[in-house]
């Protein structure tokens, strides 16, 4: 089936889009991929929704802004895809299905017997009405209700993508988004996944907090700074790193406070070292793969790629070195997962989210 997948990351940069021809097991063909930058209006509303989500007490009504933000996110998706499909000679009736992850504004892992919470905003019903196509969405709730972490979700696709490229295990796919997550493929259908630690998220928040822009473009600040290894060790003392996988994070789970005494450039370099050292710790648990394939926005930061190469013994390669579309892997993943939802196939697994058995999930809304 021909499926359009959408992804909007916590960087609030763009709507990513990708088309796959897939049955949720094998990938028959890779269709077009692209992105459209989020409007300032949508970004501002989502940022406010995120602020309110972080203060949202359990057992109380959800913030009213969630509905407004969800509608804006759906409208952004529709507008982005209208231009994207037209530019690539496609139209809505050509699609069998749409997969929409939605915009994450909150992720809390399970703790002390309390189920996790994860909120992705995006009005799937509105998107289905606007496009006239069925929309798969709400990929995390079933897993959370069953006691899982609800994240990461892209592992099954990472393995399918590696198989499509005829790559040999053991292999790791490292997605460096707001949070970094790794998929370790041991071979066959044996794979493990978890969040390793921060990706770009803390670095973005640092630069924003210091009034120096939205992100450290090209590693501009980190490249001239010096990492404070003492601060790196202090950050790595967080209990998360002593917790065994599977495990998941929110980009706000770590504080910027340990960096307060550092100038911007040194603080940025320290966060790059922190992210890379957290990945190194992950591989001390998993073992060493043949190579580490890096996807997501972090692969575009030369300082992050340099730090990973220096601290990991395995070869570190950007996704493009294997012909992968590094900016589109997550959008491709939600096209793939949407197909699995339609077919009732599992989308989360004991070794990816900690759920007791492989779980189907997601919902489909029809126009």
Q: Measure the CA angle with vertex 118, ends 147 and 197; round to 5°.
A: 90
What are the tokens at 8? 């909007």
Residue 11's pLDDT is what? 83
Q: Provide, for the chain, the percentages of residues in helix, strand and coil under a 3-state DSSP scheme, each rounded to the nearest 5.
A: 40, 25, 35
Q: 246 preceded by cis ω (within 30°)?
A: yes
Residues 61 and 181 in one domain: no
Residues 241 and 206 in one domain: yes
Look at residue 32 and give its three-state secondary structure.
strand
- Mean pLDDT in residue range 143-151: 96
Pairing state of beta strands 97-108 and 171-176? unpaired
Residue that has been written with the tokens 């763009």 in this structure: 14
pLDDT in tens, 194-231: 999 999 999 999 999 999 999 999 999 999 999 999 99
Residues 203 and 306 in one domain: yes
Is 161 domain-assigned? no
Cα distance between residue 79 and residue 77, in whole Å: 6
Residue 105 has pLDDT above 90, yes or no: yes
Mean pLDDT estimate for the chain: 96
Is 355 domain-assigned? yes
| Dihedral pair phi/psi, residue 222, rounded to 5° | -60, -30
End-to-end CA distance of the chain: 18
Cα distance between residue 146 and residue 138, in whole Å: 14
Residues 212 and 332 in one domain: no
Is 160 domain-assigned? no
Residue that has been written with the tokens 């491709």 in this structure: 332
Give me Rg for the CA atoms of the chain. Answer: 19
Cα distance between residue 104 and residue 62, in whole Å: 14
Residue 10's pLDDT is what? 83
Residues 123 and 176 in one domain: no
Is 157 domain-assigned? no
Residues 137 and 225 in one domain: no
Predicted TM-score of the model (pTM): 0.96
pLDDT band at 112; cut points 50, 70, 90: confident
Cα distance between residue 265 and residue 277, in whole Å: 18
Cα distance between residue 77 and residue 93, in whole Å: 17
Residue 251's pLDDT is what? 84
- Mean pLDDT in residue range 130-155: 97
Q: What is the CATH number of the domain that holds 214?
A: 3.30.420.40
Residues 176 and 124 in one domain: no
Percent of the chain with pLDDT over 90: 97
Residue 12's pLDDT is what? 86
pLDDT band at 73; cut points 50, 70, 90: very high
Q: For 8-22, 115-129, 133-147, which range has the lowest pLDDT when averaged over its residues?
A: 8-22
Residues 68 and 173 in one domain: no
Residues 257 and 353 in one domain: no
What are the tokens at 347? 């989308």
Cα distance between residue 158 and residue 183, in whole Å: 7
Residue 13's pLDDT is what? 87
| Residue 120 lies in domain | 2-151+328-365
Residues 54 and 177 in one domain: no
Is 301 domain-assigned? yes
What are the tokens at 149? 């972490």
| C-alpha 135: how far from chain center | 19
Is 159 domain-assigned? no
Residue that has been written with the tokens 């001239």 in this structure: 224
CB count within 10 Å of CB 102 equals 25
Residues 17 and 146 in one domain: yes
Q: 134 preceded by cis ω (within 30°)?
A: no
Residues 40 and 127 in one domain: yes
56-74: buried (b, 16+ CB within 10 Å) or exposed (e) per residue?
A: beeeeeebebbeebbbbbb
Q: What is the 3-state secondary structure (H, E, C) of 304-325?
A: HHHHHHHHCCCCEEEHHHHCCC
Rounded to 10 deg, the angle between the 229-236 and 264-286 helix axes is 50
Number of domains, the chain: 2
């Amino acid at each position: 089936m021909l499926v359009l997948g959408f992804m909007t990351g916590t960087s609030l940069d763009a709507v990513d889009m990708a088309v796959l021809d897939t049955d949720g097991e094998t990938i028959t063909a890779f269709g077009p991929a692209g992105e459209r930058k989020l409007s300032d209006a949508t970004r501002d509303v989502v940022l406010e929704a995120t602020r309110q989500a972080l203060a949202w007490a359990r057992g109380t009504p959800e913030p009213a802004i969630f509905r407004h933000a969800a509608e804006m996110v759906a409208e952004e998706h529709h507008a982005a895809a209208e231009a994207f499909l037209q530019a690539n000679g496609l139209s809505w009736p050509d699609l069998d299905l749409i997969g929409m992850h939605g915009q994450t504004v909150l992720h809390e892992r399970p703790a002390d017997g309390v189920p996790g919470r994860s909120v992705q905003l995006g009005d799937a019903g509105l998107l289905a009405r606007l496009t006239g196509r069925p929309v798969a969405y709400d990929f995390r709730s079933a897993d959370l209700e069953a006691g899982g972490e609800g994240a990461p979700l892209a592992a099954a696709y990472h393995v399918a993508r590696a198989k499509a490229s005829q790559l040999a295990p053991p292999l790791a796919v490292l997605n460096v988004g707001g949070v970094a997550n790794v998929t370790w493929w041991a071979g066959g259908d044996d794979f493990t996944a978890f969040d390793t630690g921060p990706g770009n998220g803390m670095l973005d928040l640092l630069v924003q907090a210091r009034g120096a822009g939205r992100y450290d473009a090209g590693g501009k600040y980190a490249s001239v700074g010096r990492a404070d290894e003492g601060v790196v060790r202090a950050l790595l003392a967080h209990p998360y790193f002593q917790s065994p996988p599977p495990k998941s994070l929110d980009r706000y789970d770590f504080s910027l406070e340990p960096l307060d005494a550092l100038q911007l450039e040194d603080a940025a370099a320290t966060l790059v070292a922190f992210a890379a050292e957290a990945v190194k710790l992950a591989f001390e648990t998993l073992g060493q793969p043949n190579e580490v394939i890096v996807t997501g926005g972090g692969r575009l930061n030369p300082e992050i790629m340099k730090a990973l190469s220096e601290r990991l013994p395995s070869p570190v390669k950007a996704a493009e070195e294997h012909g992968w579309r590094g900016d589109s892997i997550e959008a491709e993943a939600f096209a793939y997962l949407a197909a699995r939802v339609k077919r009732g196939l599992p989308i989360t697994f004991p070794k990816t989210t900690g759920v007791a058995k492989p779980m189907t999930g997601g919902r489909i809304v029809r126009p």
